[in-house]
Amino acid sequence: MTNGNIRIMLVEDEDIIRILTRRALGAAGYQVEDYAHGESALTKLQELRATGKKGYFSVILSDIDMPRLDGLALAEECKHLAPESSLILMTGKPRDTYPNNVCTVLDKPFTVDALYEAIKRCTPSVPETLEGLKNLTPIKAALHNGRVELAGRAYSNTQLAAREYHGLA
């Protein structure tokens, strides 16, 4: 999967961080849509779900501490509205626990390399996905644009699919 095939929803209330993160992601070839708060991101996810556009965002990259709707509440909504998207949270105040649908957490301040690594880790390439499917024996699995589909449900991350299949989610 090339970076140009990966669409990222960036949710960050601090303008300078949102602008710099969007530029860094764009420079790496990612498609980025940015939102200044969780409410506007939630509205977009609801619109996508209502129109049947599953998997529109490969990654949802969200700050945690935001007014109106924080990143943890957005993460909970993503369980229902965008379960096929990998979720990366950013925070300046690390916590002990996060919602179980979070792929990884970036502690602020983070480097551009750490950002790229987190996205790479949460969006496996097709060869990595195929390798992971070898461990998912007698179930029907299919690849669609770099995503794994198991029993009619799409996942952007093979590990998440395997965990759910094996009852570890």
pLDDT tens-digit readout, 85-139: 999 999 999 888 899 999 999 999 999 999 999 999 998 654 444 444 444 444 4
In order of their start, the domains of the chain are: 3-123 (3.40.50.2300), 124-169 (no CATH)
Mean residue pLDDT of the chain comes to 81
pLDDT of residue 131: 47
Element spanning 25, H or E:
helix 15-27
| CA dist list (Å): 162 to 6, 45, 50, 72, 134 | 21, 25, 27, 24, 11
161 pLDDT band, cuts 50/70/90, is: low
Element spanning 62, H or E:
strand 59-63
Share of residues in the chain with pLDDT > 90 (%): 64
